[in-house]
Homo-oligomer: A and B are copies of this chain.
Amino acid sequence: MSAPTAVVNVGADLLADAVADQAVPVSRVDWRPPMEGTEADLALVAADPRRRTANERAVEAVLGTTATLVDVAPASELLGLERGQFLHAGPPITWERASGPLRGALMGGAALEGLVEDPEDAAALFESGDSVSLDPCHHHDSVGPMAGVVTPSMWMFVLEDAATGRRTHCTLNEGLGKVLRYGAYGPEVLQRLRWMGDVLGPLLQRAVRTVRDSAGPVDVTGILTQMLQMGDEAHNRNRAGTLMLLRDLGPAMVLSSRGPDATDAADVAEAMRFVGGNDHFFLNLAMPACKLALDAARGIDGSTMVVAMARNGTDFGIQVAGTGDEWFTGPAQVADGLFLGDYGPDDANPDIGDSAITETAGIGGFAMATAPAIVRLVGGSVGDALATTRRMHEIALAENPRWSVPVLEFQGTPTGIDVTKVCRTGILPQINTGMAGAVAGVGQVGAGLVTPPADIFPKALHALARRVPPSPS
């Protein structure tokens, strides 16, 4: 038993005491050696005179961001995407190295854009590389869940930081199961995407603009605050968030059924049913809200804060505030979790998607304590969920007072992953995630828990160390 022991009164107040204990800053109990080979870089970065202030600025920038929903429009308009341009989740990758689900989503996307008739024919197109290009969402102020494929005709949410006018984007969530972002591309997938483009997108645009111009835009950061008091951790549980979005847009959706260019009431009802029937709909707002906050810390020299964690299904990459746009990558891992139907670990693709931006910002896996019911989806025990949030505080720079966890006496979630703390403790960020089938076309096979490959943090640390200005001595 490596942990110290103490005498504790086992009475009616045991749980209360134990919980209260979590609410005070936790000192690390289990000491672990730093990650192998990081001692010299840790010493260099620790001595960087810019570090403390830089991290304070980074934390302030992240916590100071407020994401509001200001528009919905096609990617062609918002990002200037042109025919043949495809965005995807994670760090840069080629078709050649792309995993099954990313390939499947690209193939479906090519059919959606009319580049091919049959998605199966798209493989040759991407192999040839003629008139098609791949680029990370993150390079276009965007994030995408799972495969994260964005094509010009897809409609996207636009989130804005009121104070600075900075914007981020994300597509509309399709639901679960056989959906493009999990690599499925059957006729029902394309039909749904076409309906989203023809009906849902324009309807949401009208509603979002009506709300924005009357009551003021939907406060996505504020909804996240509420979600964390309602059992959502905003990565794999977004039920309360989705319902609050529906509450905020519902009346404007209804009103779009009258007037000159009215939407048919049956379409409005169908759109409401679609949104309300998909507990994950809000994920595609939570993600760009997190990116909007973290982007505020990009490019702060000397800061050791992670500003993006993202996976393309092959590589897991991180970006750090103090190292510009450089990606530090390693092989994406397969999650450990629960499987749908007859699927098992052999059917699962390695970790994929930009959705780890939620953990990067301090929710998702980092906020599992507030969403204990999530263990029924991703596995583990309720105790694990509570312990995870507690452990993540050990590698975080701050607590987010806006995102407080009631059961931990309203302690803020661990926010701002510190590369040096990860290297010093060996504690890896905990991500909870959906699992895509490894084969293109399959769709979702499960959900579970995963961490980044350990070696990307020493890589990032080394890059930080190389940037430390020479000491004046």
Contact = CB atoms under 8 A, between A and B. Distances in A.
A12 B382 contact: no
A240 interface: yes
A383 B19 contact: yes
Contacts of A382: 16, 19-20, 406-410
Contacts of A266: 255, 258
Interface stretch (A46-54, A149-157, A269-277): A269-277
B231 A386 contact: no
Copies in the complex: 2
Interface stretch (A67-75, A194-202, A241-249, A299-307): A241-249
B272 A254 contact: yes
B250 A250 contact: yes
A273 B246 CA distance: 11
A24 interface: no
B250 A246 contact: yes
A29 interface: yes
A383 B254 contact: no
B3 A5 contact: no
Interface string A397-409: 0000000001111
A42 interface: no
A52 to B, nearest CB: 28
Contact of A273 (B7, B251, B406): B251
Contact of A5 (B10, B269, B372): B10
A266 B258 CA distance: 9
A425 interface: no
Q: What interface size band does chain A fall in? A: 35 or more
A252 interface: yes
Interface in A64-90: none
A30 B231 CA distance: 32
A26 to B, nearest CB: 9
Interface in A362-390: 372-373, 375, 381-384, 386-387, 390
A251 to B, nearest CB: 4
Contacts of A391: 12
B243 A244 contact: yes
A4 B273 CA distance: 55
A20 B386 CA distance: 11
Nearest to A18: B18
A229 interface: yes
A190 interface: no
A411 to B, nearest CB: 10
Contacts of A12: 3, 29-30, 387, 390-391
A40 interface: no
Contacts of A21: 14-15
A230 B118 CA distance: 43
A333 interface: no
Nearest to A370: B231
Contacts of A250: 246, 250, 269, 272, 276
A243 B409 CA distance: 25
A29 B5 contact: no
A5 to B, nearest CB: 5
A265 interface: yes
Contact of A16 (B246, B253, B255, B384): B384
Interface string A406-431: 11111000000000000000000000
A257 interface: yes
A254 B243 contact: no
B6 A8 contact: yes
A138 interface: no
B10 A4 contact: yes
- Nearest 7 pairs between A and B by C-beta? A16-B383, A3-B11, A243-B243, A372-B406, A18-B18, A251-B269, A247-B276
Given A5-B9, A15-B390, 18 more contacts: A6-B8, A7-B8, A8-B8, A20-B382, A229-B373, A231-B406, A239-B240, A240-B240, A243-B243, A247-B272, A250-B269, A250-B276, A251-B269, A252-B269, A254-B257, A254-B265, A382-B409, A407-B407
25 contacts: A4-B10, A5-B10, A7-B8, A12-B29, A15-B383, A15-B386, A15-B390, A16-B384, A16-B387, A19-B383, A20-B382, A20-B383, A229-B231, A229-B373, A231-B240, A246-B247, A246-B250, A251-B273, A254-B254, A254-B265, A255-B266, A258-B265, A382-B408, A382-B410, A386-B407
